Structure 1
Amino acid sequence: MNNISSAIKNRIINLPQNSLFSIKDFTDLGAYKSVKVILTRFEKEHLIKREIDGLYSKPEYSEFLQEFVAIPIEDIAIQLAKKFSWHIAPTGNTALNKLKLSTQVPAHYVYLSDGPYRKYDINGMKLEFKHTNNKMISTLSDKSNTLVQALKSLGQENFNEQIKETIRQQFSKQDILLILKETQYVTSWIYECIKDIANYEGDDDA
């Protein structure tokens, strides 16, 4: 057990600050139950912080705030998806905020998922995974999923030049062209918007 504990501790020490990890990330070093016991002990020793059940972080301490820096909810969502082998996509205000199409900072983060419905309370904020039968989210990249869901939440009637330019600033030309290739079979009006975003003709500064 001591050898396993030392190996896990060394791996954690070498992780970047604010890294997220689950028990499964260490099961190559020991049995699941043994790893869980060790991580629980490290939590009590304040080496790591438990964000939610089964998910831990190597927290960064802010001398200015005199407290541990909170992990972004988006990072927790991504790590949970990795832990449970889900494909996820931000939706609603979560997607709009990620692409800077909304200035409202969400207190409720919502993701579509091909996994089961789940809801978490994290540091006073809510993280929700809504199950979808749409298999498209498992075939699109994260960037494509985010843009598709943001446009869907925005609505066709609200797509304009300002929105187009704001979206362009979030992606490279290469990103946009890849998204265009991946999203050929999404809802037609969304694909037309993406084609419009991808049309850099005449934009010398783009």
Structure 2
Amino acid sequence: MQRLTEQILAHAKGLPEGTPVAAKSLLHLGNRAAVDQALSRLAERTQLIRAGRGVYLLPVTSRFGTRAPSVEQAVEALASQRGETIVPSGAAAANTLGLTTQVPVRSVYLTSGRTRKMSLGKQVVELRHAPRWQLAMAHRPAGEAVRALAWLGPEKAGAALQTLKRKLPPGAFSELVAVAPQLPTWLARSLGKAAHG
């Protein structure tokens, strides 16, 4: 059994930093019960970090000790592994775009998958299921603007859109206007006013 834990550790070390190790991807090494037990054992010994149900990460070792991989890397790797769209929350997008000075305290991401929490060392990352329209144009400035506007809400959308019209590159604002039919009525209406007003 010792050999299985060594094989799993060797497999994890061969992956890029922050790539989650899931029991399903290790079934070529042994049966599910043995793999689960080995993963659990590695987590107890702190050789792996248990990030969530069935998801483990290899800690990053440096001359200063060990730490959990960066949140961005872990989330990106999880998205590609699970085939999900995962993007920063509307609060983070609004902050990035300069629409608010509030800095989100918690790490919250929106996902096309189910709502869940992921632990990265002492930090807890919340993955919240979001409607498809909030995940549109996932990693583009226009998509970031959609999430920021959704977070700001109908009352603040008009003023925020005027700011975005000045800040976003012309192509990104046009992209935002083009996606209006997919958005909720209040947001599509605000976008129409900002584009033609």
What amino acid maps onto 1:142 in structure 2?
A: A
Could you tell me which residue of structure 1 aligns to residue 10 of structure 2? 10
Gaps of 5+ in 1: 197-206
Task: State the partner residue of 1:204.
Answer: none
Give the TM-score of the pair, scaled to structure 1. Answer: 0.61
CA RMSD between the two structures: 4.2
Residue 133 of structure 2 corresponds to 136
Question: 1:88·1:137 contact (CA, 8 Å) conserved in 2?
Answer: no
**Are 2:36 and 1:39 aligned?**
no
Q: Which has the higher helix share?
A: 2
Partners in 1 of 2:194 and 2:9 — Cα distance?
Answer: 46
Q: Deviations over 1:27-73 (max 9, x none)?
A: 3544332221122233344432223342211221232xx23233344
Mean alpha-carbon deviation: is it higher for 9-18 or for 103-112? 103-112
1:151 pairs with one of 149, 152, 155: 149
Query: Is the 1:20–1:55 Cα contact (8 Å) retained in structure 2?
Result: yes
- Scaled by the length of structure 2, the TM-score of the pair is 0.63
Partner Cα distance (1:141, 1:27) in 2: 35
8 Å contact kept, 2:90–2:144: no
Quick one: distance in 2 between partners of 1:21 and 1:195?
46
1:93 aligns with 2:91: yes
The within-5 A match list for 1:64-103 is 66-77=64-75, 88-97=86-95, 99=97, 101-102=99-100
- Structure 2: runs of 5 or more not aligned: none
Contact 1:184 1:191 in 2 (8 A): no
Identity, in percent, stands at: 23
Count residues with an aligned counterpart: 188
Give the partner amino acid of 2:159.
N
Q: What are the residue-to-residue correspondences of 1:151-190 with 2, within 5 Å?
A: 151-154=149-152, 155-159=156-160, 163-164=164-165, 166-168=167-169, 184-186=181-183, 187-189=187-189
Alpha-carbon deviation of 1:15? 1.0
